[in-house]
Amino acid sequence: MRLLTWNINSLRLRLPLLSEIVAALAPDVVCLQETKVPDALFPSDACRALGFDHIAHHGMKGYNGVAILSRLPLADIRTPSRCNREDCRHLAATVAGIEIHCLYVPAGGDIPDPETNPKFAHKLDFLREVAGWYRNNYTPDRPVALAGDFNVAPLETDVWSHKQLLSVVSHTPVEVALLGDMQASLDWVDAVRAVIPPEHKLFTWWSYRSPDWTRNDRGRRLDHVWVTPALAGAVRGALVARECRSWTQPSDHVPVVVDLDVPLPGR
DNA sequence: ATGGTTGATGGTCAA
């Protein structure tokens, strides 16, 4: 099973780019974040035309929104609410016996202080709640893949400068610690870092605000694919589609792909 | 220390 996750930053605007990446990488399952499309306006026909006959989406007007596109049937579609908000950040479905979870963690605003910045407080609460939810509702022997924009770059090699980003939201010690707690909830394995050694710098996001993202390569690894220990032995490969950041009218995030050696029906 | 860009929206808000 080839799983692709991408913060697409408007699905409707970037359908042609989705088509391009699907043609190039042939994923079986696609997890999208920041679809920015209400469910009533979801472009299902266009997604089916890309080969995804099975679609789950959880969207709202203007912001957020998650979706799972699959070549294989989806079962048990669920949309857990987070922090008592209906803000469309979590979607889960079962594909070929594997639970696929698509997650969009709040970005957290600019100021890394939960006392003065409610967005940062929400982000910290969200991370705590998700960790507790997995701990209470799952066990590590269940085959689950958790993919999405976690909006946290946990490792020193996940940012262009560890020292310079210590007080920048996405790499502050409090967020990294909470993401660590979330990872510990089910002993999640970072599938991408299981393939690409943690010594290597690896980014999945580059700010739109930089006039030339390639000049200093000031990126961060905000997008992740984790698997439970039950699936860790099935991880066969991982890829960050860095070249997509150079497309015309790109998302500020690029797709991340993980290959899992699991039996698929009809193959 | 500051400002820089993009997308949805139709004024700003979120990232």
**Each residue's pLDDT tens digit, A30-46:** 999 999 999 999 999 99
CA/C1' separation A6–B11 (Å) = 30
Distance CA(A173)–CA(A31), nearest Å, equals 28
Helix (H) or strand (E) segment spanning residue A150:
none
Q: Starting at the edge strand that comes first in sequence, how are the strands of the sheet with A256-260 ordered?
A: A54-58, A66-70, A29-33, A2-7, A256-260, A235-240
Does the nearest atom of strand B lie within 7 Å of A117's Cβ?
no
Question: A109: which 2 tokens?
Answer: 């605003």
CA/C1' separation A210–B2 (Å) = 14
The confidence band for A211, taking pLDDT boundaries of 50, 70 and 90, is confident
Does the nearest atom of strand B lie within 7 Å of A136's Cβ?
no
CA/C1' separation A209–B3 (Å) = 9
pLDDT digits (tens, 9 = 90+) for A89-102: 999 999 999 999 99
pLDDT of residue A267: 64
Q: Are strands A74-78 and A90-95 parallel, antiparallel or unpaired?
A: antiparallel
Among all protein residues, pick the one whose CA is nearest to the C1' atom of B4.
A209
Mean pLDDT in chain A?
97
Residues in CB range of A42: below 8 A, 6 or more apart: A11, A35, A55, A57, A59, A67
Lowest mean pLDDT among A52-56, A91-95, A214-218: A214-218
Residues 58-87 in A having a C-beta less than 7 A from any atom of strand B are 61-64
Nucleotide nearest to A249 (CA to C1'): B6
Among all protein residues, pick the one whose CA is nearest to the C1' atom of B15.
A107
The confidence band for A266, taking pLDDT boundaries of 50, 70 and 90, is confident
CB A169 within 8 A of CB A111: yes
Q: Which residues of A33-49 are buried (b: 16+ CB within 10 A; e: fewer)?
A: bbbbbeeeebbeeebee
Phi, psi of A54 (to 5 degrees): -120, 120
Alpha helices in chain A (DSSP H): 15-25, 44-49, 118-137, 173-184, 191-195, 213-216, 229-232
Distance CA(A181)–CA(A185), nearest Å, equals 6
Nucleotides of B under 7 A from a protein CB: 3-9, 14-15
Taking residues A87-116, report their average pLDDT: 97
CB A77 within 8 A of CB A93: yes
CA/C1' separation A16–B3 (Å) = 32
Query: What is the pTM for the complete model shown?
Result: 0.98
Does the nearest atom of strand B lie within 7 Å of A249's Cβ?
yes
Domains recognised in chain A with CATH numbers: 2-260 (3.60.10.10)
C-alpha angle A207/A86/A139, rounded to 5°? 85
pLDDT of residue A70: 98
pLDDT digits (tens, 9 = 90+) for A142-163: 999 999 999 999 999 999 999 9
Distance CA(A114)–CA(A97), nearest Å, equals 39
CB A58 within 8 A of CB A65: yes
Phi, psi of A263 (to 5 degrees): -70, 135
C-alpha angle A2/A175/A153, rounded to 5°? 40
Any idea what DSSP says for residue A134? Answer: H
